[in-house]
Structure 1
Amino acid sequence: MMMTVMAEDSSTAVLSTLEGTSSEYENNLTKYIDADLRHDTKFEGGGQSDIFTAVLDCGKLPRGVSAFQQLYDGPATKTVALKILRVMANADSDRYQIIMRRLKRETGLWQTLSHDNIVPLFGVYQSPRSPEVDGLVMPLYSGDLKKYLAAHEDANKLLLLLGTAKGIEYLHTKRLVHGDIKPRNILVTAEGVPMLSDFGTSRILGMKGYTTNLTTTTTYTAPEILDFDEDDSKTSENKETPHPLSSYSDIYSFGMTILEVIDGRAPFYHRRAILVRQIVDGLRPEPKHHPGIDEVNGKIWILLGQCWERDGKLRPDIGKVMLELQCLAPLDAASSVEA
């Protein structure tokens, strides 16, 4: 997966020491996939990756490989989503090696996860243009949460948020941090179940370039992350220092996600540009720009304010956020999530 492990004695994200090259990936599905990666065949694109549809020949998978266990049952062929990390082609040699170490570590973690609100990872893929693994193989869903809400105006938004929170709770219980929570990274099944995806992409690609160059990501990112300069944190020989991603930063991002899902408007939508320093210094969304919140329940602003505290330790944990959402949700919605 792409995720960060939290230290046992705190919520500060720390790096594991797993090393290796792509040739050592047990979950490499390249030889079992038929894919057309031409630009005009993209299923979806944006940010630092492109998504293609591909056909996975499950019938040819070697038996007895734990990484492929979830693929043994079911049809002999499966249509899957193939996510190619575009940044890999442009990375310099030092950064490339760092990305490869992160990719191996975090995809290994992701594949151990099993939860109804977590997108499973089937394996990794090496595109013809790349000397190393540069793609992720996942189930194919019709779209993300933002697209789902646009197509289903009567959808129960609080129920969708509660389902997403259950996925976050699962990660935090395992002392894992998602690192990039936003509506685009919440996929929705045909049955309307929200699924967290794209774990730790920010951790793999490097937060500085990932957050300051992409406004759509910056607006969901906690101030302590925006204020962190990864380039200055590097030590010799490509070693890395602990990164400030944490359960606290996940809560901040989830608060921004709650805002957009309920109101229908993205954070800071009314601004032409967002300066990172403004967010670090305390800029937050205001009620006058998001009237849809009050139309549902004005008390949501209290919860959002807590999620957006400058000091991460003052933010509520995901359990408290879930309790607050359950108090706002209809009884049938809350009970269905608890079940």
Structure 2
Amino acid sequence: FLGVGSFGHVVLSNNAKTQELVAVKILKRAHIVKTQTVKYVIREKSLLEISSHAFIVRFIEGFKDNANLYIILEYVPCATLYSLIHRIGSLSEKHAPFYAAQIVLGIEYLHTKDILHRDLKPENILLSEDGYIKLTDFGFAKIVSTRTYTLCGTPEYFAPEVCSQRGYGKAAEWWSIGVFIYELCTGSPPYIGRNPDMYLRIRLGQYPDRANFSDDLRSILSGLMNPDLTKRLGNLVKG
């Protein structure tokens, strides 16, 4: 048993064709029909199939039987970035950019295909044996050319336009990258509580500053977690 994803659990198995270890995401057909998540599962498989990038988990194949659907992915043997952060507390500003840059490249790649991941967080980032990351769990991923209105993902990573339910696009993921970088450097996300106060602070872009933050880090965080879409990093004319 390797873990739990958005719509199923993941186990370790052996690929009979290649003899390589693989991760098998198993989804009970009765459950996904009952919970009306069939479209999410089909979409997850199709988006993984068309995504090929060094920092995104590799899709191998998919099949089904009478009881389950199976999505076969490359096996990434190490832990999640979440477990690393919470084992050591936080990363220094010297080491955090190593992971942040990979996430930026992975998300940029998805955006060239109009794919929004919609659940970017350390729990969905695997660490490979060579130390590089693999973005996984495309259960909420969706092709969005302009904007979408579905409320999904993890509240602590919601952009203001997501929690305000006024429609969102690629810019929302740049906000999530800001939250991700903050968590890398502090050990916890800037917005916690899942209460009205948290959502208000998200809409206002108010998060705890830390005395040990460098000016460069403050600039990056304020640029990414800017409630004003016209001023948010990643959403500007040149990025």
What residue number does 1:226 align with?
163
The alpha carbon displacement at 1:102 in A equals 4.2
What residue number does 1:122 align with?
60
Structure 1 gap segments, 5+ residues each: 1-41, 59-75, 212-216, 230-243, 323-339
Deviates more, 1:100-109 or 1:249-258: 100-109
1:257 and 2:180 aligned: yes
What residue number does 1:55 align with?
14
1:104 aligns with one of 36, 39, 42: 42
The 1:320–1:117 alpha-carbon spacing in structure 2 relative to 1, beyond 3 Å, is farther
What residue number does 1:182 align with?
121
The 1:151–1:103 alpha-carbon spacing in structure 2 relative to 1, beyond 3 Å, is same
1:284 and 2:206 aligned: yes
1:164 and 2:103 aligned: yes
The 1:146–1:127 alpha-carbon spacing in structure 2 relative to 1, beyond 3 Å, is farther
What residue number does 2:195 align with?
274
Asked which structure has the greater RCO (Cα within 8 Å, sep 6+), the reply is 1
> Which has the higher Rg, Structure 1 or Structure 2?
1
Decide whether the 8 Å contact of 2:174 with 2:224 is kept in 1: yes
The alpha carbon displacement at 1:125 in A equals 4.3
The alpha carbon displacement at 1:284 in A equals 3.5
Quote the Cα distance in structure 2 between the aligned partners of 1:148 and 1:280.
26
1:194 and 2:133 aligned: yes
Decide whether the 8 Å contact of 1:48 with 1:87 is kept in 2: no
Question: Secondary structure of 1:191's partner?
Answer: coil
Instruction: Please give the TM-score of this superposition, normalised by the length of structure 1.
Output: 0.57
Quote the Cα distance in structure 2 between the aligned partners of 1:148 and 1:87.
33
Instruction: Please give the TM-score of this superposition, normalised by the length of structure 2.
Output: 0.78
Structure holding more helix per residue: 1
Quote the Cα distance in structure 2 between the aligned partners of 1:207 and 1:86.
24
1:140 and 2:75 aligned: yes
1:249-282, CA deviations, whole angstroms, 9 ceiling, x for partnerless residues?
Answer: 110111100000111223334x4x4337425642
Q: Which amino acid in 1 is paired with 2:137?
A: D
Quote the Cα distance in structure 2 between the aligned partners of 1:282 and 1:88.
42
Quote the Cα distance in structure 2 between the aligned partners of 1:117 and 1:320.
25
Quote the Cα distance in structure 2 between the aligned partners of 1:150 and 1:200.
24
Aligned residues: 229
Q: Which amino acid in 1 is paired with 2:16?
A: D
Work out the percentage of aligned pairs sharing the same amino acid. 21
Question: Secondary structure of 1:304's partner?
Answer: helix
Question: Secondary structure of 2:71's partner?
Answer: strand
Q: Which amino acid in 1 is paired with 2:25?
A: K
Quote the RMSD (CA, aligned, Å): 3.4
Q: Which amino acid in 1 is paired with 2:225?
A: W
Decide whether the 8 Å contact of 2:120 with 2:176 is kept in 1: yes
Equivalent positions of 1:75-90 (< 5 A) are 76-85=18-27, 89=31
The alpha carbon displacement at 1:187 in A equals 1.2
What residue number does 1:303 align with?
220
What residue number does 2:2 align with?
43
What residue number does 1:335 align with?
none
